[in-house]
Structure 1
Amino acid sequence: MLRKLERSIGETTISDAPKPVPQISLKTGTRLVREWRGITHTVLVEAQGFEWNGGRYRSLTLIAREITGAHWSGPRFFGLRKGAAQAMEREGGEHAQA
């Protein structure tokens, strides 16, 4: 009986483990567009990072932080991850990708 209980606990722990987040693959030249507090922000995907507002950045998260002043997941902020739509509705912004 004890072994059965230990086994079921072990199986639950394994199945409840967080799953790895798949990498986002964006083609060079893709434009990401996001409206934030009435301002439209456009990010250009480059081979070695991203261009926004005349500057080059190594991640979307850095750009999202610059735009919002708070920590955001960059892919989520730009609508590339599940759950982005609900977060954007709470913040009052809209997004689009092209």
Structure 2
Amino acid sequence: MLRNYLKIAFRQLWRNKSFSAINLFGLTLGTACCLYILLYVQHHRSYDRHHAGVENLYRIISDLNLSDDGETMHMATCSPPIAPAMQEDFPEVELAARVCSHPA
């Protein structure tokens, strides 16, 4: 029975070549996009999972105003006194570490 269904499906695909090609392309593209999104989300959810107390890890992002017209630069780094100042001002902060970028 399955062999008969496959034979009929193959005949229909062969009879309507352009329609079948468009459908196959759409199915392939949709599957590839779905897999890419799945891998992207899995990759971003895997950061810092090896630390104990991962639910208490936070990252500070700095916004630098470059001009008066509202142009802003978002940076993943912060200035040197931020870590000690946060530990002094916020008693909830147990440990702090800075991330520095050095141009290569």
Query: TM > 0.5 between the two?
Result: no
TM-score (norm 1): 0.32
Which structure ranks higher in relative contact order (CA pairs < 8 Å, sequence separation ≥ 6)? Answer: 1
TM-score (norm 2): 0.31
